Amino acid sequence: MDQQIGPHIQLIALDMDGTLLDDNHEISEGNREAIAEAQELGVHVVLATGRTLASCGKYATSLGLKSFLVTANGSEIYDCEGSVFNTSLMPPEAVDHIYELTEKHGVHVWGASRKSIFRGKLPDDRHGHEWLKFGFDTEDDEVRKAIIAELQLRAITEITNSSPTNIEINALGINKAFALKKVCDDLGISLQNVMAVGDSLNDIAMITEAGLGIAMGNAQEAVKRKADWITATNTNDGVAAAIQRWVVLPQQKEKRKAEEKSSSH
């Protein structure tokens, strides 16, 4: 990738917590304006989040987004009409393993099904739900490492995080990059023309597979190492800075060049 010019961006994929949202879970005016400007240029803006539709839909609406919505780390995708476009559920053996780990380690657990979110305690009827993802949260580094090691050993799930103290678990092969590939295929866009912005391990897949991967200034170090460029933090309009640098300015330059070329003929 040309570090000065970058790919022609047709789609922007934005993580939410620690990326688009500030520490009060709000979208700054600067970020709102940059997103509006990108949409005016005809660029698709897609939220790609670990959240479920229930806790991210209002943000998409408030931004006036007119494209897909990637939720639950890619386990569920919604189209621009708000209808389910694709769902990837946790297989029964993976659900069993999560329940075993919960019982064994006794840490805070949560689970997101297609209809509900359970926090602190999972329901007894483990196979009576359509599970999208699970998560564990613990300040105990040793316990967290032990859980990750057991998940890796079983090798039937996708293991990431959305903060340094948690573990996020999806069906194997299901991540934000998987979902964006489906979205791009439907829109007729190459992943090479995507700019992906994030801060946590659940963003690495899309940051590495997109044509342009951007890490937030507040991103985990592992994410920064994989990114093509590092922007400002989530409390300093990092999303807006990335959009201006890699989408708005290049496309304005292209437009000016085209106008100069046509006027010279």
For the chain, the straight-line distance linking the first and the last C-alpha, in angstroms and rounded, comes to 32
Question: How many CB atoms lie under 10 A from the CB of residue 77?
Answer: 23
Q: Is 15 a residue of the active site?
A: yes
Domain 11-87+175-264: what homologous superfamily? HAD superfamily/HAD-like (3.40.50.1000)
The pLDDT score that the predictor gives to residue 257 is: 87
The top-level CATH class assigned to 92-171 is: alpha beta
Q: 133, 117, 148: which is closest to 70 by C-alpha?
A: 133
| Cα 95 to Cα 139: distance, rounded to the nearest angstrom | 23
Q: Which of 15, 199, 228, 237 is catalytic?
A: 15
pLDDT tens digits, the chain, 265 residues: what are they? 545 678 999 999 999 999 999 999 999 999 999 999 999 999 999 999 999 999 999 999 999 999 999 999 999 999 999 999 999 999 999 999 999 999 999 999 999 999 999 999 999 999 999 999 999 999 999 999 999 999 999 999 999 999 999 999 999 999 999 999 999 999 999 999 999 999 999 999 999 999 999 999 999 999 999 999 999 999 999 999 999 999 999 998 888 888 888 887 6
Task: Please give the structure tokens belonging to residue 67.
Answer: 């494209």
Any idea where the domains of the chain sit in the sequence? 11-87+175-264, 92-171
